[in-house]
Structure 1
Amino acid sequence: MARVTLSLLLLLSMILSMAAGATDFIKASCSATRYPALCVQSLSVYADEIQKSPQKLAKAALSVSLTRARSAKAFVSNMTKIKGLKSREYQAMKDCVDEMDDTVDQLSQSVSEMGHLNKDFMWHISNVQTWAAHR
């Protein structure tokens, strides 16, 4: 029984140290971003999946960005339905929704492209950089 308990404690310790290492990796990676605290907050929940993989970190970051962009687009889209909007206000919000739609499309393409990284890595990364950096 003591041996099983010791084995479980060792396994738990290894899992916790891997998660801590992944969190440190995420913090270090996020330190180069414009909003490091938001980056860490958004990606830390994926630490177990990301571990210390730059590819998994990039895919998680793109996925989080896509989710947030879709949410923002839906919010602004709902604002266009407010009664009493002046024509210029409506058009400005519609233009914003159109831009956000382009952002969602390009982030979707980027997430999809990340799924093909095993083949012709640099070409796919170049595509992701083009689509993600455009926004």
Structure 2
Amino acid sequence: MVAALLLVLASLPGLAQIADPAPLRFTNPAEEQRFHALVTELRCVMCQNQSLADSNAQIAHDLRREVLTLMRQGKSDEQIRDYLVARYGEFVLYKPRVEERTWLLWFGPALLLLVGGGVVARVVRRHAGEGGLPTDDRQEW
């Protein structure tokens, strides 16, 4: 029993995530500002509800380094986004692009609102066409 406990305790460090070895260093304030603007509009593929800037997941650390590397290779912001979308899918963008596959995502709520408004208008017209309130004055309230 003691040997099994020691074996489990010895394996725990292997389960821990490796901390980011060194913080990112920027060559100038403009590079840092561009980097932060870009990573705040990209989603962490592991956390799903956090941006790359907010996430502490190891993959977010790796992706931040990848973004900085691509920036230093002279890639534009759009090229970096395209690279990440090709690798991880449209999900990596907080604001998906308006295209054939995403039109329902962008215009679905407005469509539902229009359909709902049409249903409400139809119900109101139908009840108004039935004569509305009864005109029997003999009834006491």
TM-score of the two chains, using structure 1 as the length reference = 0.32
Query: Which structure has the greater CA radius of gyration?
Result: 2
TM-score of the two chains, using structure 2 as the length reference = 0.31
Q: Which has the higher helix share?
A: 1
